[in-house]
Amino acid sequence: MKPGDEISLTVNPDRYTTVRYAGASGDFNPIHIDEEFARSVGLPGRILHGLWTMAQVARAHTEAFGGAAGPASLAELSVQFRGMGVMEQEITVRGTVEEVEGDTAVVRSEAIQDGRRIVRNARARVRVLPDSGD
Amino acid sequence: MTANAEAIGKRYEPTTYAVGREKIIEFALATGETDPLHLDVEAARTAGYPDVVAPPMFAVVYQRRSVSGALFDPELAIDFAHMVHGGQEFTWERLAVAGDELTTTLTVADVSERMGMSFVAFATESLNQLGETVCTGLWTNIVRTPA
């Protein structure tokens, strides 16, 4: 791993993504699972949980850099949520290795849907295995 | 109505969460994880873990009880109708494993006004049954002040 290396993950949330995530996470805010309620508060419809989208950002890192350490490679992740994600529209997570120092790499990333950055200024610290090359 | 700045530093009663194997699998599937460490007990044991390993973002599950308690604290007076989740940070010292019992403590880290918005941030720390830190978090909520 070296500065400038890039990661990418594409995911297509289907129309039941928020229902499954509500059950799995315990976040039953109706703006995510009730179309009528979401519209009644001025949203275009049900929207994705920001933390589901953050989980896709996390997965982009652990799948790209995990190696043998797998999910334990992710030491830190911070994100800002902006705008809103919707279902049935592709999301792309893109990241770039900013620096590598010792056994830690810093990666900057964002999640984009239909040209909108729904997660921005994401910064991760990833534990690098000693034998993972440059 | 904006949140109450005098609440900064307020600490809540810890909450405890027992990490279950099927809950980890359910969460992993709902977030698109395919690593067998999350899904297959044998694969996790082969890799040296006692049971399936929680994805890092499973932190939202074991910290939720603490976060909900603070969000609904009348002293904070959060205006839910205008609240959005503005940002999230997690630091992982180790991953939770099925069978762990995690205790989470939450402190109000920030209540402030900037650019016509209120920021309410919660700092969380989760320890396992051995007293080891598993995960710390910073949950930032933004409340837009009605015009």
The answer to whether the CB atoms of A26 and B57 lie below 8 A apart is no
Residue B146 has pLDDT above 90, yes or no: no
Residue A134 has pLDDT above 60, yes or no: no
Q: Under 8 Å CB-to-CB from A40, ≥6 apart: which residues? A: none
Q: What's the whole-number average pLDDT of chain B?
A: 94
pLDDT digits (tens, 9 = 90+) for B106-138: 999 999 998 888 999 999 999 999 999 999 999
Q: Check CB contact of A56 with chain B, cutoff 8 Å.
A: yes
B2-5's contacts with Cβ under 8 Å and 24+ in sequence apart are B2/B77, B2/B79, B2/B113, B2/B118, B2/B143, B2/B145, B3/B76, B3/B77, B3/B78, B3/B79, B3/B111, B3/B118, B3/B120, B3/B143, B4/B75, B4/B76, B4/B77, B4/B111, B5/B111, B5/B112
pLDDT digits (tens, 9 = 90+) for A83-129: 899 999 999 999 999 999 999 999 999 999 999 999 999 999 999 86
* DSSP state, residue A32: G
Give the pLDDT of residue B36. Answer: 96
Query: Which of B4, B143, B14 lies closest to B77, judged by CA?
Result: B4
Question: Looking at per-residue confidence, does A67 or A41 come out higher?
Answer: A41
Q: Check CB contact of A75 with chain B, cutoff 8 Å.
A: yes
Is residue B39 within 8 A of residue B33, CB to CB? The reply is: yes
Average pLDDT over residues B99-105: 98
Instruction: Choose, out of A79, A92, A110, the residue to mutate when testing the contact with B (most B CBs < 10 Å).
Output: A79
**CA distance to partner chain A, nearest, from residue B113 (Å):** 18
Is residue A93 within 8 A of residue A57, CB to CB? The reply is: yes
Q: Under 8 Å CB-to-CB from B114, ≥6 apart: which residues? A: none
Global pTM reads: 0.95
The answer to whether the CB atoms of B38 and A71 lie below 8 A apart is yes
Interface of B with A (CB under 8 A): 23, 26-27, 29-33, 35, 37-38, 47, 53, 55-57, 60-61, 64, 81, 84-92, 94-95, 138
Return d(Cα A81, Cα B9) in angstroms, integer.
25
